[in-house]
Structure 1
Amino acid sequence: MNDQLERLNRLPLRENLRGLQPYGAPQLDVPVLLNVNENTHGLPQEVRSAIASRVEQAVGGLNRYPDREFTELREALATYLGHGLEAENIWAANGSNEVLQQILQAFGGPGRRLLSFPPTYSMYPLLASGTDTEYVPVRRGADFNLGAEQAAKAVRDTGANIVVLCSPNNPTGTALGLDVVEAVYEAGEAKGAIVIVDEAYAEFAHTGTPSALTLLPGRERLIISRTMSKAFALAGARVGYLAAAPQIADALRLVRLPYHLSAVTQATALAALEHAEALLANVEDIKAQRDRIVTELTAMGLQPAASDSNFVFFGGLKDPHGVWQGLLEAGVLIRDVGIPGHLRVTAGTEAETTAFLDGLRKLL
């Protein structure tokens, strides 16, 4: 037991938090960072200027609390999403992780269960622990896919109060069919289960891949979670949001901290939404690099998963950690997700993608 853990254990920590490790990927100083699914293209100059202008306006009022209801931002997000959504259908927070945390604060807690389907986003069990919600994992099959019947059965068998579906899934990159969402929602009727579809990477999906936003009408317990970290290149701004029935936002008002979304954050997000077209142009380039990675990894004899995200999950590696280390030594950081035989790489710029592919070829 190291000194840090020993000091921590001397504190009256909640029992369900003992022994846990905080979430976090390695933050190393290397030339090519492709490990945390950031948008490596950065912000176009016109967007930087627009953000600076909006923030400058906000600075004049920083002695006052921000708009607690972030009304203008909710209206802008509703317009961006479309699907007939209004401001009352939208909620936002400091990254989609805080959105998910608030959902668990409102609908989870002692005696309640959160169900998800690993391998999936590793924050789900940590968010459950943080809100004293029981985490129930039901693993996917060997091909990492998730079918409607399998998912619905898991909901019924576990009696879950909250179900989170990640689509496109992290770390595999695959999108779920809407039949899975529908089946899970229906299976949760008996318990009144909240169903969250985490669509953090939705903008990177292949053309024709449907969003669960189309399923919202008539489903008051369905929540679609999104983020501005990925497609909008605002990982550093921390802006996440959801679309749902208005009463979901009413529930989250009961648990949110006062004035939780700063005036600077609101201004930044509004400026980005005003320039959505310019930012989403970069998304098309990222999708091209992602598809290039899939094609070239296949040619190397590896097994990349079909990806609807801005990253590629690939298998066929005898020594994945050795490959990860070799790439790191060559100045390229990707993600070891702890799944035997597999690694994950973010689709970066053309130059970054080339550096990764060239480095991998040499190692193989």
Structure 2
Amino acid sequence: MGRVSISLDDLPLRDDLKGKKPYGAPQAPLPVALNVNENTHPIPESVIRDIVGDITHVLGDINRYPDREFTTLRESFAHYLGHDLTPDNIWAGNGSNEVLQQILQAFAGPGRTVFGFGPTYSMYPLLTQGTGAVWTEGTRDAQFQLTAEHAAQQVRDAQPDVVILCTPNNPTGTPLAIDVIEAVYDAAPGIVVVDEAYQEFAPHDAVSALTLLPGRERLMVSRTMSKAFAFAGARVGYLAAHPAVIDALRLVRLPYHLSALTQAAATAALRHAPTMLAMVDHIVQQRDRISTTLRELGFTPYESWSNFVLFGGVVDTAQTWQKLYDRGVLIRDVGIAGHLRVSAGTEAETSAFLDALASIESGL
């Protein structure tokens, strides 16, 4: 039987997905990859050995389904987060993107709207559309900041079913003051999600939205192990919220959605939280070093509480990106005119980026 070649356009795809492109950043085998906000520091050998030991133990029962409620992992997350949280307040998924998707499956969907302040994480509109809801976007000021009054008014005008606040914000790195979150919650008629994927890179005295959870049943705070815990390849995200919210997410989760291997690896890593987080201070040092050097080179870096720096003043973003690529350094063009974004890596990786950028600026 002869084969008939077809393309995506020939398939009976949903109308609202036609012409869309999947999320993805360039992947290339370059010596220095600083484009997707990974933690480029390797996990310490002592932690690896402990994780491997737990996974090996789990393999003895791998023929059985995992704990559907991932009880031990939820206990570990509650202990790590503190704030008097209990396992009943905790949910987890295969990366924070899956957790966000489950939130939208439960609280958004056809005929409903999801709201965020642009520019922000580019997966939010994709997750929204994937669940059949409509994404609407508010605005920030010229420094990508928000005031409580301006943010709340935009939410009151939009009347969305779900609001997603990213703090520190991706791709700008800018923080969101706690009074802004309070104001948005008071103005929102529905669910408010605070995405704190980069919270561990904020100043040690920064106030987390976790402090706002008591008495706010419509508030959720999501986190990830991908960044501070250097666990991007393990795909573990989690959420803190009222127990009723956790019950709602059970309605849409796939059966046994967290594998026994994932649960074991994440639980073991959380036992070593101080060791795993020790690298965060070093990453913050490299982030601040990047910002300082960028200013010296004539660029405009924005305040960042994350593990990356967005900088403006780039005359030709495509050309600068390509010249860095040709020098073995991969960073990110996030689609903001005149701006590029770079992750803070190891000291050697950071030096490689800064040296390559300086050579471009000097015409070498």
> What TM-score range do you get, normalising by the shorter chain?
over 0.9
| Matching residue of 1:197 | 194
| Counterpart check, 1:237 vs 2:231 | no
* Matching residue within 206, 209, 212 for 1:215: 212
State the Cα deviation string for residues 124-159 of structure 1 (Å, max 9, x = none).
000001000111011222221112112111111111
| Matching residue of 2:329 | 332
* Matching residue within 302, 308, 312 for 1:305: 302
| Counterpart check, 1:42 vs 2:42 | yes
| Matching residue of 2:260 | 263
1:42, distance to aligned residue in structure 2 (A): 1.4
- Where does structure 2 lack aligned partners over 5 or more consecutive residues? none
Contact 2:143 2:302 in 1 (8 A): no
**One-letter code of the match for 1:350?**
E
**Cα distance in 2, alignment partners of residues 296 and 8 from structure 1:** 45
| Matching residue of 2:222 | 225
| Matching residue of 1:60 | 60
| Alignment of structure 1 residues 54-203 onto 2, 5 Å | 54-188=54-188, 191=189, 193-203=190-200
| Matching residue of 1:247 | 244
Q: What's the secondary structure of 1:236's corresponding residue?
A: helix
| Counterpart check, 1:276 vs 2:264 | no
**Cα distance in 2, alignment partners of residues 274 and 296 from structure 1:** 36
**Cα distance in 1, alignment partners of residues 137 and 176 from structure 2:** 17
Equivalences, count: 357
Q: What's the secondary structure of 1:225's corresponding residue?
A: strand
**Cα distance in 2, alignment partners of residues 169 and 80 from structure 1:** 22
State the Cα deviation string for residues 41-95 of structure 1 (Å, max 9, x = none).
0101011101100100111111000000000000000000000000000000000
1:320, distance to aligned residue in structure 2 (A): 1.5
**Cα distance in 2, alignment partners of residues 128 and 118 from structure 1:** 15
| Counterpart check, 1:319 vs 2:316 | yes
- Where does structure 1 lack aligned partners over 5 or more consecutive residues? none
**Cα distance in 2, alignment partners of residues 313 and 269 from structure 1:** 30
1:15, distance to aligned residue in structure 2 (A): 1.1
Q: What's the secondary structure of 2:315's corresponding residue?
A: coil
**One-letter code of the match for 1:87?**
P
Q: What's the secondary structure of 1:98's corresponding residue?
A: helix
CA root-mean-square deviation? 1.0
**Cα distance in 1, alignment partners of residues 327 and 173 from structure 2:** 25
Q: What's the secondary structure of 1:165's corresponding residue?
A: strand
State the Cα deviation string for residues 270-309 of structure 1 (Å, max 9, x = none).
1100111111001111011001111111111111011100
1:12, distance to aligned residue in structure 2 (A): 1.6
State the Cα deviation string for residues 331-354 of structure 1 (Å, max 9, x = none).
000001111110000000000000
1:6, distance to aligned residue in structure 2 (A): 7.3
| Matching residue of 2:341 | 344
Q: What's the secondary structure of 1:196's corresponding residue?
A: strand
Query: How high is the TM-score relative to the length of structure 2?
Result: 0.97
**One-letter code of the match for 1:155?**
V
**One-letter code of the match for 1:128?**
T
| Matching residue of 2:12 | 12
1:6/1:149 CA distance change after superposition, 3 Å: farther
**Cα distance in 1, alignment partners of residues 178 and 6 from structure 2:** 47
- Runs ≥4 in structure 1, deviation > 3 angstroms? none
**Cα distance in 2, alignment partners of residues 140 and 100 from structure 1:** 22
Deviates more, 1:78-87 or 1:143-152: 143-152
| Matching residue of 1:361 | 358
**Cα distance in 2, alignment partners of residues 11 and 139 from structure 1:** 36
